[in-house]
Amino acid sequence: PPLIRTTLDANLQRRLEDLLLGWRARLPEHTSAAILVVETESMAVRAYLGSVDINDARRFGHVDMISALRSPGSTLKPFLYGMAMDAGLIHSESLLQDVPRRYGDYRPGNFSMGFSGPVSASSALALSLNLPAAQLLEAYGPKRFAADLRNGGVPLSLPALAEPNLALILGGAGSRLEDLVSGYSALARGGKSANLRLQPQDELVERRMLSPGSAWIIRRILSGQARPDRDPTAELVQRPSLAWKTGTSYGFRDALAIGVGPRYLIGVWIGRPDGTPVPGQFGLASAAPLMLQVHDVLSNRDSQRGIVAPVQPV
């Protein structure tokens, strides 16, 4: 067979394969996981792990979950907030309402089941509150949002004849992890998202997703979160800043975490490829710790090689 050259980093790929195999014991039966690592500047894919173990049939190891259509959960929210800023609907401290509300037959609730009342846009995004996001999508327009996402390189899949509606912002459409990571590159590339490059000859194609200003604001909002895997009082060592967002689909079918670091984009998915619910497997509890571990591997690797992460403007 002809030789296929890729952009993958063989050492990193092996390192993350070992990491994922170590995680297998933490995952419920029949549950798989996927990791995608992309170098932000070149958009070259450096690690691509579509499942926990390609030979594990009980975990559907033959199914590539990086390219599979799944629910994005709350991972679309940063795009909406950025687009709403660009449209002049909000600024980072605009007050939104986190209160129970019915939209026709649709009545969204929060993941935590409670409500916060009036809340700033930046807090609503950082806390991933559902009601303010639905309020914002109603003002922006679901069709407009879906079209802008598609133009920015994140196409959404809806059932035949279905129109985009407010459920979009809570994961009520299909998307691919590879497209989400491509979309999040806009937060690190001045508002322009870029396609992933799996082979050296692949052309780098950019699309305008957000303005440079809103991309910077959204990235900053997502950079202020405490890590669930670490005591915040023990953060004595200044680590490279990471902006990140988690997502959980309806019924705990998908847990996602996407990170935007100084040099790399990281996408992680955990769930059952057959779509069966996995109670307790939600983004912050399962996908985020794995994504943060991958981030630490990349940071330690760079520091050992003497590579200094680019400083983000404050």
Indicate if 226 and 129 belong to the same structural domain.
no
Structure tokens at 9: 């980093």
143-182 burial string, b = 16+ CB within 10 Å, else e? Answer: eebbebbeebbbebeeeeeeebbbbbbbbbbebbbbbbbb
Indicate if 182 and 227 belong to the same structural domain.
yes
Cα gap 156→205, rounded to integer Å: 19
CATH number at residue 37: 3.40.710.10
DSSP character at residue 165: -
What confidence tens digit (pLDDT) does each residue in 52-86 have? 866 676 666 678 999 999 999 999 999 999 999 99
Contact 164, 158 (CB under 8 A): yes
- Indicate the pTM of the whole model: 0.93
Q: What is the pLDDT of residue 14?
A: 97
Q: What is the pLDDT of residue 237?
A: 47
Contact 106, 165 (CB under 8 A): yes
Indicate if 169 and 228 belong to the same structural domain.
no
Domain end (from 175, 198, 213): 175
Structure tokens at 212: 């440079």
Indicate if 289 and 142 belong to the same structural domain.
no
Indicate if 299 and 312 belong to the same structural domain.
yes
Indicate if 145 and 252 belong to the same structural domain.
no
Q: What is the pLDDT of residue 113?
A: 67
Query: Residue 237's domain spans which residues?
Result: 1-70+177-314
Domain end (from 150, 175, 200): 175
Cα gap 221→94, rounded to integer Å: 14
Over the chain, what is the mean pLDDT? 89
CA angle 229, 235, 241 (to 5 degrees): 80
Contact 89, 136 (CB under 8 A): yes
What confidence tens digit (pLDDT) does each residue in 149-178 have? 999 999 999 988 899 999 999 999 999 999
- Domains identified in the chain, total number: 2
Contact 168, 115 (CB under 8 A): no
Give the DSSP letter string of 41-69: TT-BEEEEE-SS-TT-GGGTTTS-SSSS-
